[in-house]
Amino acid sequence: MSTRVYIARDAAARSVGADRVATALAAAATAAGRDVDIVRTGSRGLLWLEPLVEVETPAGRVAYGPVDAREVAALVTAGLLDGAPHALNVGPIERHPYFAGQERVVFARCGLDQPTDLDACVARGGFRGLRRALEMAPGAVVDAVRDAGLRGRGGAGFPTGIKWRTVLDQQHPRKYIVCNADEGDSGTFSDRMLMEGDPYCLIEGMIIAAHAVGASQGYVYLRSEYPDAHRTLADAIARARAAGYLGADVLGSGLAFDIDIRLGAGAYICGEETSLLDSLEGKRGQVRAKPPLPAIEGAFGCPTVVNNVITLASVPAIAEHGAAWYHDHGTGRSRGTLPLQLAGNIRHGGLVEKAFGVTLRELLYDYGGGSLSGRPIKAVQVGGPLGAWLPEAAFDTPIDYEAFVAAGGMLGHGGIVVVDDTMNMADMARYAFEFCAIESCGKCTPCRIGSTRGVEVVDRLRAGDRREASLELLHDLCHTMRNGSLCALGGLTPDPVESALKHFPEDFALHPATGATGTTG
Amino acid sequence: MTTEPAATGGADHDPDDDTLLDRVFDAVGERPDLLLEIFHAVQHARGYVDAALVPRIADRLNLSRADVHGALSFYPDFARTAAPRHVLKLCRAEACQSVGAVALAEHARTRLACDFHEAAADGRVLLEPVYCLGNCACAPAVMLDDELHGRVDNARLDALLDDLGSDGA
Ligand SMILES: Cc1cc2nc3c(=O)[nH]c(=O)nc-3n(C[C@H](O)[C@H](O)[C@H](O)COP(=O)(O)O)c2cc1C
Ligand code: SF4
Ligand code: FES
């Protein structure tokens, strides 16, 4: 009888050698006279343990990690294929403390099966939400999403039900569902992991959205930096179409809906929804003034739902289990679950899906295990490159949209970047300006020019050049960018800058004569 | 960029261009909203999007040359001159910085003897900055010709670059 072994084909797992481990395992099994069936799955999200190998045993799936391809033969000899004890044996993932405490809703299936195996997905409850939604009137689906309290996971936290209601109410023969899969924020990878690990969850969410608002065409605007996600999603869409989930008559319901993928081309600003829509139409990705809202005049001038991957992927569970069930998770006005991403200088980096309300400190220490370097955590940046740097004093902030605003930050897409005490925060402030200058779409002067000025001012400040005047200039510049920018790239770049300065003023003190800023290029 | 345009791309009415565009339009479709997909397909086939193609793409899609050029030049992904055979994209964003990406970039520039946006001294590798590859829990991250690598230190980067040498490329 053959032994089933699971190894992730997620890009992060592959980036640290999962393919080599799979090859080595097949060879070692053959050498040992054992028959193995290697299933390549999404990642379970315990990324510091990748490459992770899970072996099916009578007692369940037993995991080993991180496995080096060169150790595989020895591991097989030591009894890996029977789940034998070993220093790398971490037991069943479901009982691992990192996993056991999670509330997996969006990521419930991720890592369990071959990601585009449609039968396996359906056997685990895939498309049940869609079947229920198709039995409901479109307005009732929109109401359920509103009552669930779902808010946009792409950054702004806008109530999804309200957006959908606006699109539903438009009398227009053509409407679109656009999935924002541009995921440009440093520290974020949940969109990627979901598209690679359970693409049907996103597809199902998009079909439900189409039914809810009356859309006939969907697009996934996917960043080009994700070739693995592209392959998996394209494969899944083709299989879903062949099985009747997409096309002229979705599951015999009369709904006509199909999905195409459009690739981005390396511009961060194309994650901003109006810029994204221009890019989707084949144009330069420049930000448009709002109004008109995309919900009223979006893709090709038609009413359009633009939602993040995780927002859309949260919808199947709401449709299946009901608004009240979803709303029971979370706290305050932040309902449901958020897949948080622990990144950077953190010992246990990975994906932690939790109901809102868990604190930053629990995530950093109980899940994350502290810094990777073993040094004190100095600060974290939550919500991507436009998020404020939060010091230790803010670590008791709960994961909650309003609580983060009160703490001077933002939750954004739920990415948490950790830095230790060797990081100089003036370097990070300088980098924030530099990033803004590189990625500015060029439409407004404060963003385009101000960001470059900002780099110079930080340099002058650190050179000790007219310190008081430079400080004043820096704040003026931030003020101008905040108030004179059309979108959040220019408007929020001051947040990481001023938070770094506020919490770590000593890092902006006179710089050693080397002139090295630590940031290059 | 420091490299010269390839000989095949310079001519004004290269029949190869027509063949290429026919193939691309067949595969991708011939609509203005597919412009980025068309650029991607051209770049995939040829390694870059030659300026000589701009007027032809514009004619076929009924767009102005300014529109096509405007879009082409807006996106960092598209090379407009012949690029070296290999591209090393090194992540410079925050999560990678937190575990040594700045030093790694320094090492890459020394080893390749070039700056970002430039080709290595031997002309075979283009060094590009990138701002997050979605591998932030296994940082620092680099992408070498569409292959993602994580937990990259100087030694691993050297090994990756050494491997390029061994395939005779
Ligand atoms: C500079 C900038 C970059 C953005 N990048 C992304 C992104 O990569 N992914 C995303 O989903 N939303 C991004 N957004 C937010 C989108 O504009 C938009 O709010 C979101 O796609 C709406 O979907 P949601 O309501 O489901 O969050 C960005 C916004 C700005 C200002
Ligand atoms: S703030 Fe910057 S990125 Fe946003 S619209 Fe203005 S110039 Fe473009
Ligand atoms: S910050 Fe480098 S991969 Fe995300």
Per-residue DSSP letters for A416-460? EEEEETT--HHHHHHHHHHHHHHH--S-SHHHHTHHHHHHHHHHH
Q: How far is CA A290 from CA A46, A231, A493, in A?
A: 40, 34, 20
Has residue B11 got a pLDDT over 50? Answer: no
**Cis link prior to A97 (omega < 30° from 0)?**
no
The pLDDT confidence band at residue B99, using thresholds 50, 70 and 90, is: very high
Has residue A77 got a pLDDT over 60? Answer: yes
Distance of CA B60 to the CA centre of its chain: 25
List, in sequence order, the alpha helices (H) in A170-272: 190-197, 199-213, 227-242
A441 lines ligand 2 (CB under 6 A): yes
pLDDT recorded at residue A61: 97
Task: List, as ranges, residues 1-30 from B with C-beta within 8 Å of A.
Answer: none
> A510, exposed or middle or buried, with CB in 10 Å at 0-12, 13-18, 19+?
exposed
The pLDDT confidence band at residue B13, using thresholds 50, 70 and 90, is: low
Has residue A45 got a pLDDT over 60? Answer: yes
pLDDT recorded at residue B4: 39
Q: Which residue of A has its CA nearest to B79?
A: A265
For residues A30-42, average pLDDT: 97
| 8 Å CB contact between B113 and B104 | no
- For A12, the enclosing helix (H) or strand (E) is helix A11-15
The 3-class secondary structure across A483-507, one letter per residue, is HHCCCHHHHHCHHHHHHHHHHCHHH
| 8 Å CB contact between A317 and A105 | yes
Q: How far is CA A148 from CA A133, A295, A315, in A?
A: 14, 20, 9
Count of A-B CB contacts under 8 Å: 167
Ligand 1 centroid–CA A285 distance in Å is 14
Has residue A382 got a pLDDT over 60? Answer: yes
Q: Are strands A60-64 and A89-91 parallel, antiparallel or unpaired?
A: antiparallel
Q: How far is CA A363 from CA A354, A359, A371, A400, in A?
A: 10, 6, 12, 13
Q: Ligand 2 atom 4: the closest Cα is on which residue?
A: A487
| 8 Å CB contact between B96 and A415 | no
Interface residue of B28, B34, B36, B40 to substitute, partner A, most A CBs within 10 Å: B36
> A138, exposed or middle or buried, with CB in 10 Å at 0-12, 13-18, 19+?
middle
- For A96, the enclosing helix (H) or strand (E) is none
Has residue A211 got a pLDDT over 90? Answer: yes
The pLDDT confidence band at residue B83, using thresholds 50, 70 and 90, is: confident
| 8 Å CB contact between A433 and A451 | yes
How close is the nearest chain A Cα to the Cα of B167, in Å?
18
Q: For B98-114, give one letter per residue: b (16+ CB within 10 A) or e.
A: bbbbbebbebbbebbeb
Ligand 3 centroid–CA A397 distance in Å is 24
Whole-angstrom distance, CA of residue A521 vs CA of residue B93? 12
CB proximity list for A88: less than 8 A, separation 6 or greater: A64, A65, A66, A67, A71, A75
Partner-chain contact A188 B98, CB within 8 Å? no
How close is the nearest chain A Cα to the Cα of B52, in Å?
19
pLDDT recorded at residue B12: 55
Q: Which of A201-210, A502-511, B53-62 has the lowest mean pLDDT?
A: A502-511
pLDDT recorded at residue B166: 57
pLDDT recorded at residue A517: 44
Ligand 2 centroid–CA A286 distance in Å is 8
Interface residue of A48, A283, A372, A380 to substitute, partner B, most B CBs within 10 Å: A283
Select the residue of A225, A279, A351 nearest B130 (Cβ to Cβ). Answer: A225
Whole-angstrom distance, CA of residue B169 vs CA of residue B165? 6
Tokens matching residue A205: 């969410």
Tokens matching residue A4: 């089933």
pLDDT recorded at residue B18: 86
Whole-angstrom distance, CA of residue A191 vs CA of residue A106? 11
Has residue A300 got a pLDDT over 80? Answer: yes
- For A97, the enclosing helix (H) or strand (E) is helix A97-100
pLDDT recorded at residue A381: 98
Residue A231: strand, helix, or coil:
helix
Has residue B6 got a pLDDT over 70? Answer: no
pLDDT recorded at residue A509: 85
Q: Which residue of A has its CA nearest to B39?
A: A265
Has residue A216 got a pLDDT over 60? Answer: yes
Task: List, as ranges, residues 370-429 from A with C-beta within 8 Å of B.
Answer: 372-373, 381, 385, 415, 417-420, 423, 427-428
- pTM as predicted: 0.95
Q: Are strands A258-263 and A217-222 parallel, antiparallel or unpaired?
A: parallel
The 10s digit of each residue's pLDDT in A271-283 is 999 999 999 999 9
Q: Ligand 2 atom 1: the closest Cα is on which residue?
A: A490
For residues A178-182, average pLDDT: 98
Tokens matching residue A515: 């002139």
For residues A400-429, average pLDDT: 96
Tokens matching residue A458: 């930080």
| 8 Å CB contact between A38 and A114 | no
| 8 Å CB contact between A150 and A159 | yes
CB proximity list for A131: less than 8 A, separation 6 or greater: A251
Whole-angstrom distance, CA of residue A377 vs CA of residue A399? 18
How close is the nearest chain B Cα to the Cα of A156, in Å?
20
Whole-angstrom distance, CA of residue A119 vs CA of residue A1? 23
B93 lines ligand 3 (CB under 6 A): yes
Q: Which residue of B has its CA nearest to A442?
A: B74
Ligand 2 centroid–CA A444 distance in Å is 5
The 10s digit of each residue's pLDDT in A301-357 is 999 999 999 999 999 999 999 999 999 999 999 999 999 999 999 999 999 999 999
Chain A residues within an 8 Å CB radius of B104: none
Residue A164: strand, helix, or coil:
helix
| 8 Å CB contact between A446 and A372 | no
pLDDT recorded at residue B103: 98
| 8 Å CB contact between A51 and A38 | no
For residues A397-414, average pLDDT: 96
Pick the closest to residue A103 from A335, A333, A309, A324 (CA basis). A335
Has residue A518 got a pLDDT over 50? Answer: no
| 8 Å CB contact between A125 and A113 | no
**Ligand with minimal distance to A438 CA:** 2
B148 lines ligand 3 (CB under 6 A): no
A213 vs B4, residue with greater confidence: A213
Has residue B167 got a pLDDT over 70? Answer: no
pLDDT recorded at residue B1: 38
Has residue A110 got a pLDDT over 90? Answer: yes
pLDDT recorded at residue B9: 40
Partner-chain contact A186 B96, CB within 8 Å? yes
| 8 Å CB contact between B113 and B120 | yes
Cα torsion A473, A477, A480, A482: sign: negative
Whole-angstrom distance, CA of residue A323 vs CA of residue A150? 9
Query: In the block, which residue shows the tokens 């031997």?
Result: B122
B153 contacts chain A (CB < 8 A) = no
What rounded mean pLDDT belongs to chain B?
Answer: 90
Chain B residues within an 8 Å CB radius of A263: 36-37, 40
Cα torsion B83, B85, B89, B90: sign: negative
Maximal CA-CA distance, chain B? 51
A269 contacts chain B (CB < 8 A) = no
B106 contacts chain A (CB < 8 A) = yes
Domains of chain A: 3-100 (3.40.30.10), 126-327 (3.40.50.11540), 330-420 (3.10.20.600), 425-508 (1.20.1440.230)
Distance of CA A266 to the CA centre of its chain: 17
* Length of chain A as a residue count: 521
Q: What percent of chain A has pLDDT over 70?
A: 98
Partner-chain contact B136 A343, CB within 8 Å? yes
pLDDT recorded at residue A512: 55
Partner-chain contact A342 B137, CB within 8 Å? yes
pLDDT recorded at residue B43: 94
Q: Which of A157-171, A455-469, B92-106 has the lowest mean pLDDT?
A: A455-469
Whole-angstrom distance, CA of residue A377 vs CA of residue B85? 41
Tokens matching residue B100: 């040594």
Q: How far is CA B57 from CA A117, A283, A307, B21, B67, in A?
A: 39, 14, 32, 8, 10
